[in-house]
Amino acid sequence: MLLPTRLRKNNAIRALVRETHLSMNDVVYPIFIVDGKGIKREIPSMKGQYHYSVDMLEEAVADFSAKGIGYLLLFGVPDQKDAEATPAFAEEGLVQQATRAIKKADPNMYVITDVCLCEYKSDGHCCFFNEDGAINRERSLETLCRVAVSHAEAGADMVAPSDMMDERIGQIREALDLAGYENIPIMAYSAKYASAFYGPFRDAANSAPAFGDRKAYQMDPANAEEALKEIALDIQENADIVMVKPAMPYLDILAKGKEISYLPMAAYQVSGEYAMLQNAVDQGLLDEKALFEALLSIKRAGADIILTYFAPVLQDLIKEYQA
**Residues with active-site annotation:** 192, 245
Minimal CB distance to ligand PBG: which residue?
Answer: 201
Give min distance, CB of 127 to ligand PBG, in A: 10
Residue 28 or 231: which CB sits closer to ligand PBG? 28
Residue 19 or 137: which CB sits closer to ligand PBG? 137
Burial call 39-58: b when 16+ CB within 10 Å, e when fewer: eeeebeebeebbbbbbebbe
Give min distance, CB of 252 to ligand PBG, in A: 19
Residue 173 or 192: which CB sits closer to ligand PBG? 192
Residue 90 or 107: which CB sits closer to ligand PBG? 90
Give min distance, CB of 109 to ligand PBG, in A: 20
Residues near ligand PBG (CB under 6 A) are: 114, 116, 118, 126, 162, 198, 201-202, 207, 270-271
Backbone angles phi and psi of 170, in degrees to 5: -60, -45
Give min distance, CB of 120 to ligand PBG, in A: 10
Residue 161 or 257: which CB sits closer to ligand PBG? 161
CA distance 146 to 314: 35
Q: Which of 257, 265, 240 is nearest to 185 (CA)?
A: 240
Q: Residue 121, Cβ neighbours under 10 Å: how many?
A: 24
Tell me which amino acid residue 265 is: M
CA distance 211 to 78: 20
Nearest-Å Rg of the Cα atoms of the chain is 20
Give min distance, CB of 75 to ligand PBG, in A: 7
Give residues with Cβ within 8 angstroms of 96, minimum separation 6: 90, 150, 151, 153, 154
Residue 17 or 89: which CB sits closer to ligand PBG? 89
Strand 128-129 with 135-136, pairing = antiparallel
Q: Which of 19, 111, 115, 21 is nearest to 69 (CA)?
A: 111
Handedness of CA 259, 303, 6, 14 (dihedral sign): positive
Strand 241-245 with 265-269, pairing = parallel
C-alpha dist (Å) from residue 85 to 29, 100, 139, 316: 25, 21, 11, 39
Give min distance, CB of 164 to ligand PBG, in A: 8
Give min distance, CB of 178 to ligand PBG, in A: 24
Residue 64 or 274: which CB sits closer to ligand PBG? 274
H or E stretch at 112? strand 110-115
Q: Which residues pair with 243 in a beta bridge?
A: 266
